[in-house]
Amino acid sequence: MALFEALLELADDHLVLGHRVSEWCGHAPMLEEDLALPNMALDLIGSARSLYTYAGEVEGAGRDEDALAYLRDETDYRNCLLVERPNGDFAQTMLRQFYFAAFMEPYWKAALESPDETVRGIAGKAVKEMAYHIRHSGEWVIRLGDGTEESARRMAEAVEELHRYTDELFHTSEAASGVAALPDRAAMRPEWDRVIGDIFAEAKLTIPEVRFPQQGGREMRHGEALGHMLAEMQVTHRAHPGAVW
Amino acid sequence: MAEAATMEEARAWEAAAAVPDPEVPCVTVADLGILRWVRIENGAAVAGVTPTYSGCPATLAIEFAIEQALREAGFEARVERVMSPPWTTDWITEEGREKLRDYGIAPPVESGGKATLFGAPTVACPRCGATDTERLSEFGSTPCKAHYRCRSCAEPFDYFKCL
C-alpha cells in the first residue's frame, strides 16, 4: 500500500496548509490579500480533495475524502512539520507558502510524466496553481525582505524560524517509498535550491545554516500545533457524523 | 438503433450545454469547455464534466445544475467528474471569449505556466480595448479571476486568469 501512503502524505500536506492559510480569511492586512489567501487555500484544499478521493479508491476500504480528512487523528497524519506551523505574522505565512510552492511546482511538473492517469490529471491542474503561488508569495518575500527596516526584520525572523523545517519536504517515509506513480521527492532539491536562492538574493536574505533540521511529521510525530488545528477543523464533522449538504 | 442513440445523445448534449456557469452566467458550461461529453448509457444520460480550478467551489453547483437540466429534458441523469486531461483556459470557445468580453470580463490571453511566472501578460480592456491596463490584484472575486484597471478609460474590470 505504498501508493496509498504516498497519496496521504501529499493530501495531508495540502489539507493542513490549506486549512492554515484559510485561517487568514477576514484577518489579512489588506483587501487584496484577504482575497488572495482564501483563493490559495482553496487551491490547496481542492488538490487535497482529489488526492484523498484517489487514496480512498486505492485503499479500497470504503473511505472517502471526508473519512480520510475528518476522521483521522494527528497520530495518523503524514504531513511534514512545515505546513502545520502556526501562521505567525504575515511574513511567516508568506515565507511558508513560498517554501511549499517552490517544492510542489517542480514536483507536479515531474508528476505530469507519471504512468498513472489520475496522478497526471491532478498534477496538470495543480502545477499551474503552484506557479501562481510561487509568484505571489515570492513577490512578498522580496517586498518584505528588501522593504522597510521593520519588514526586513520580520522576514529575516521568519527565515530563522521556518528554514529548519524545509528539509522534510524532500523526505518520504519508508512506508511511502518506491512508488512509480509519483516523483521522487529528493529529486526536487536542485530546482528548489535554485528558486529559493534567486528570490533570497533579490530579497537580500541569507539562507541560514541549519544545524538541527526538524522532521518527524511523515512518521506521524507532530508538534503540539497540529492537534489544536485538527480539533477545530474536524469538530463539525465529528459532531454530525454522516451529515451531507 | 445506433442512430436513435445518437439523436438522443445530441438532445441530451443540447440540454446540458445550455447550463450557465453559476459565477459567470454570461457563458455556458459548453462555452467554457468544461462539459466534455454526454453519453447515453443504459437509457440514462451521463455527462462528463471537468473542474476548472482544483478548489473551485462552483464545481458541485455546476454538476447539480447539469443533472437537473438533463432531468428536465426527460432523462435519467448522472454526472461523472473527469480529471484528465486537466482543463485549461484554452478550452474556452471563441464564442465564449466574445461573451466574456461583452460581459465586461477580459478573456484569458495565453496559456498559463512558467512563461507568465514573473511577468504579467498584456490584458486588453474589455470596455475600450486599450492595452494600457494595470493589475490591481492577482486574485479576484472568484478563484478564476484577477482584478485589473484600464489606464485609458479608467474602468476597473475582472480578468479571467490563464491556466
Question: DSSP string of B28-42?
Answer: BHHHHT-EEEEEEET
CB contact under 8 A, A118 and B86: no
List, for chain A, all residue ranges whose pLDDT scores fall below the cut of 50. none
**Cell matching residue A102:** 517552490
Do A208 and A201 touch, CB atoms closer than 8 A? no
pLDDT confidence of residue A218: 96
pLDDT digits (tens, 9 = 90+) for B116-149: 445 567 899 999 999 999 988 888 877 788 889 9
CA distance A45 to A241: 21
CA–CA separation, A78 vs A218, rounded Å?
A: 4
H helices, E strands: number in chain A? 9, 0
Query: Nearest-CA distance from B58 to chain A in Å?
Result: 12
How far is it, in rounded angstroms, from Cα B36 to Cα B5? 18
> What's the rounded Cα separation, in Å, for the pair B29 and B37?
11
B156-160 β-sheet, strand order? B105-106, B156-160, B145-150, B133-137
β-partners of residue B20 are B28
Q: Report whether the peptide linkage leading into residue B85 is cis, meaning its omega lies within 30 degrees of zero.
A: yes
Cβ of residue A150 closer than 8 Å to a chain B Cβ: no
Q: Give B87's DSSP letter.
A: P
> Model pTM?
0.88
Please compute the mean of the pLDDT values over residues B72-84 and round it to a whole number.
92
Instruction: With a cut of 60, say whether residue B66 has pLDDT above it.
Output: yes
Beta pairing partners, B79:
B47
pLDDT at position B111 over 80: no
Higher pLDDT, B79 or B120: B79
For residue B85, name the pLDDT band (cuts at 50, 70, 90): confident
Q: Are A181 and A115 in contact (CB under 8 A)?
A: yes
Query: Residue range B10-26: average pLDDT?
Result: 94
B interface with A, Cβ–Cβ below 8 Å: 51, 53-57, 60, 83-88, 112-114, 116-118, 136-141, 143, 147, 161, 163
Are A39 and B143 an interchain contact pair (Cβ–Cβ within 8 Å)? Answer: yes
**Which residue in chain B is spatially nearest to A123 when comparing CA positions?**
B86
- 3-state secondary structure (DSSP) of residue B110: coil
Cα dihedral across residues A160, A161, A164, A166: positive or negative: negative
How long is chain A? 245
What is the rounded distance in angstroms from the CA atom of residue B50 to the CA atom of residue B34? Answer: 5
For residue B117, the model assigns a pLDDT of: 47
3-state secondary structure of B160: strand
Residue of B nearest to A133 (CA): B117
Mean pLDDT within B51-79: 91
pLDDT at B4: 59
Quick one: pLDDT at residue B56?
A: 79
Q: Pick from A161, A159, A172: which is nearest to A79 by CA? A: A172
Residue range B20-38, pLDDT digits in tens: 999 889 999 999 999 999 9
Half-sphere exposure of A86 (CA within 13 A, CB side): 7
Instruction: With a threshold of 0.85, tell me whether the complex ipTM lies above it.
Output: no
Q: Which amino acid is at B2?
A: A
Which cell numbers hold the place of A51? 488526492
C-alpha cell at B157: 474590470
A65-69, A222-226, B82-86, B92-96: which has the minimum mean pLDDT? Answer: B82-86
Q: How far is CA A128 from CA A108, A193, B40, B53, B127, in A?
A: 9, 20, 34, 10, 28
Give the pLDDT band of residue B53 (cuts 50, 70, 90).
Answer: confident
* pLDDT value of position B3: 60
- What pLDDT sits at residue A91? 98
Residue A13: closest CA among A186, A239, A222, A190: A222
pLDDT number for residue A140: 97
What chain A residue is nearest to B162 in terms of C-alpha separation?
A128
In which band, very low, low, confident or very high, does the pLDDT at B110 lie, cut at 50, 70 and 90? low
pLDDT at residue B141 in the model:
78
B115 pLDDT more than 70: no
